[in-house]
């Protein structure tokens, strides 16, 4: 059983939605962020960066900074850049890019179901980051970035969504990254009850992206004693069908060969891998196969028989194979997440993106991995295991500021 909650979203008026919505602020380069803040007074980035062009600065992630975020948010409400829906609703959000539709439901996800393990995880969280975002929620009292949750195919949910897709959307706009965004409001009592019933038929869902946001929201909920409200029993989420989700590869560039020459490195690889030279670098065609770029040359490398436990949910993953057979024993990289010699390139950038990062950072060797499948992700979560760091790059990446969840609803 999956419990979802309709809520009264705080959102921009139709004519300002395309101006308000933004990517998370940390995804912008510093100069681009400054330019957007300078040129667009409506962007949600002003809420998250409340001290732009001001001299009295507070420390990042401090209580004082979060208080200023709340004050700027209140100004957006006062100035009419945001309004609050009068009725509890669900929201259909669609993002279109390259002839592919990412479509799902924005709703409240249950804190209790997270605690009960019905919302399944595949990633460890860092306590310090949990605490930081928990303080943010405690002071700001709103959440603007949904956690990405995925669920198995359900015909009833599909049919309801498809019906709304034939109607005029509340928002429709295209952003400069060639993505088209639509939002529909589900406020009819009959459709709200249908959707709640359909999700009750789904035994559990999986976190695809947003482990820290979900963990922080649960921590925030558990610590609320005074002024507790029902809204605190839920957190903002985007529920998307597995078939509507895309998981891309997450590739590695390494800036050191651990004092080995290229020929010595190849020699060490020979004990565990079948190495085949390539005329040019190309993405691997199947799991347990890597494309390696070493200097100016490219190779296909594949573990020899018996070197990998293909039945193990984690040990069979390409990121773990790379760590177990190359990064740790040969290159001396014990923790890919913290070792500064390892850089990551998401699969949307292709081989070109890998080569570009190698050139920029003087990379010595790079590995292109095969993408993790949804089934592999679920298998890890179902077995209460954790995936290696940076195993997946998952789309869609949602816009902030379109459907804000307030904790005093």
- Confidence at residue 26, expressed as pLDDT on a 0 to 100 scale: 81
Q: Which residues contact 273 (CB under 8 A, 6 or more apart)?
A: 301, 302, 303, 304, 307, 325
Backbone angles phi, psi at 247, to 5 degrees: -110, 120
- Structure token digits, residue 214: 């979900």
CA distances from 54 to 57, 58, 181, 183, 220 (A): 7, 10, 32, 34, 30
Measured CA to CA, the distance from residue 288 to residue 309 in angstroms comes to 11
- Structure token digits, residue 77: 């409400």
CATH class of the domain at 250-370: alpha beta
- Confidence at residue 18, expressed as pLDDT on a 0 to 100 scale: 96
The conformation of residue 242, written as its DSSP 8-state character, comes to: G
pLDDT tens digits, residue range 251-271? 999 999 999 999 999 999 999
Measured CA to CA, the distance from residue 299 to residue 226 in angstroms comes to 61
Does residue 102 come out as left (phi exceeding 0), alpha (psi in the -120 to 50 range) or beta? beta
In this prediction, the residues of the chain whose per-residue pLDDT falls under 70 are 225-227, 409
Measured CA to CA, the distance from residue 401 to residue 275 in angstroms comes to 48
Backbone angles phi, psi at 80, to 5 degrees: 85, 10
Q: Specify the pairing of strand 119-120 against strand 205-209.
A: parallel
- 190, 192, 193, 194 alpha-carbon torsion, rounded to 10°: 80
Measured CA to CA, the distance from residue 346 to residue 211 in angstroms comes to 18
Q: Which residues contact 47 (CB under 8 A, 6 or more apart)?
A: 69, 72, 73, 76, 144, 401
The conformation of residue 323, written as its DSSP 8-state character, comes to: I
Q: Specify the pairing of strand 147-151 against strand 234-241.
A: parallel
**Nearest CA-CA partner of 377 in 247, 287, 250:** 247
Measured CA to CA, the distance from residue 166 to residue 163 in angstroms comes to 6
Contact of 283 with 368, CB cutoff 8 Å: yes
- Confidence at residue 225, expressed as pLDDT on a 0 to 100 scale: 66
Contact of 82 with 75, CB cutoff 8 Å: no
Measured CA to CA, the distance from residue 167 to residue 274 in angstroms comes to 55
Measured CA to CA, the distance from residue 394 to residue 392 in angstroms comes to 6
- Confidence at residue 359, expressed as pLDDT on a 0 to 100 scale: 96
- Confidence at residue 224, expressed as pLDDT on a 0 to 100 scale: 83
- Domain ranges in the chain? 4-247+395-406, 250-370
Direct distance between the N- and C-terminal alpha carbons of the chain, in angstroms, rounded to an integer: 24
pLDDT tens digits, residue range 81-98? 999 999 999 999 999 998
């Amino acid at each position: 059983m999956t419990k979802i909650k309709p809520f009264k979203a705080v959102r921009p008026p139709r004519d300002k939605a395309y101006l308000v919505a933004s990517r998370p602020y940390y995804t912008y380069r510093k100069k681009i962020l400054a330019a957007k803040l300078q040129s667009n007074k409506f962007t949600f980035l002003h809420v998250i960066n409340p001290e732009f062009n001001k001299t009295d600065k507070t420390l990042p992630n401090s209580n004082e900074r979060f208080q200023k975020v709340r004050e700027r948010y209140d100004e957006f409400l006062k100035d009419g850049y945001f309004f609050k829906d009068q009725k509890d609703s669900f929201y259909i959000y669609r993002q279109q890019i390259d002839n592919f539709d990412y479509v799902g439901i924005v709703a409240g996800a249950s804190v209790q179901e997270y605690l009960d393990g019905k919302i399944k995880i595949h990633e460890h969280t860092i306590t310090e980051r949990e605490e930081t975002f928990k303080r943010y929620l405690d002071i700001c009292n709103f959440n603007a970035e949904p956690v990405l949750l995925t669920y198995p195919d359900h015909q009833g949910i599909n049919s309801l969504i498809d019906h709304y897709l034939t109607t005029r959307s509340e928002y429709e706009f295209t952003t400069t990254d060639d993505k088209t965004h639509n939002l529909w409001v589900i406020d009819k009592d009959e459709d709200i009850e249908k959707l709640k019933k359909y999700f009750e038929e789904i035994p559990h869902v999986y976190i695809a992206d947003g482990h820290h946001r979900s963990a922080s929201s649960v921590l925030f909920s558990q610590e609320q004693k005074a002024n507790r409200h029902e809204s605190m029993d839920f957190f903002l989420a985007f529920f998307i069908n597995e078939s509507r989700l895309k998981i891309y590869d997450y590739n590695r560039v390494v800036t050191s060969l651990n004092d080995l020459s290229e020929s010595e490195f190849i020699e060490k690889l020979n004990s565990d891998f079948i190495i085949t030279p390539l005329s040019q670098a190309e993405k691997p065609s199947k799991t347990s196969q890597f494309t390696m770029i070493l200097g100016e040359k490219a190779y296909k490398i594949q573990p020899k028989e018996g070197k990998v436990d293909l039945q193990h949910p984690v040990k069979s993953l390409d990121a773990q194979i790379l760590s177990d057979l190359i990064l740790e024993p040969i290159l001396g990289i014990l923790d890919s997440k913290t070792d500064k010699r390892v850089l990551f390139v998401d699969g949307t950038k292709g081989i070109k993106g890998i080569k570009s990062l190698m050139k920029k950072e003087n990379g010595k060797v790079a590995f292109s991995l095969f993408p993790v499948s949804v089934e592999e992700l679920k298998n890890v979560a179902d077995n209460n295991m954790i995936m290696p760091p940076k195993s997946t790059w998952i789309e869609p990446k949602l816009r902030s500021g379109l459907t804000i969840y307030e904790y005093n609803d």
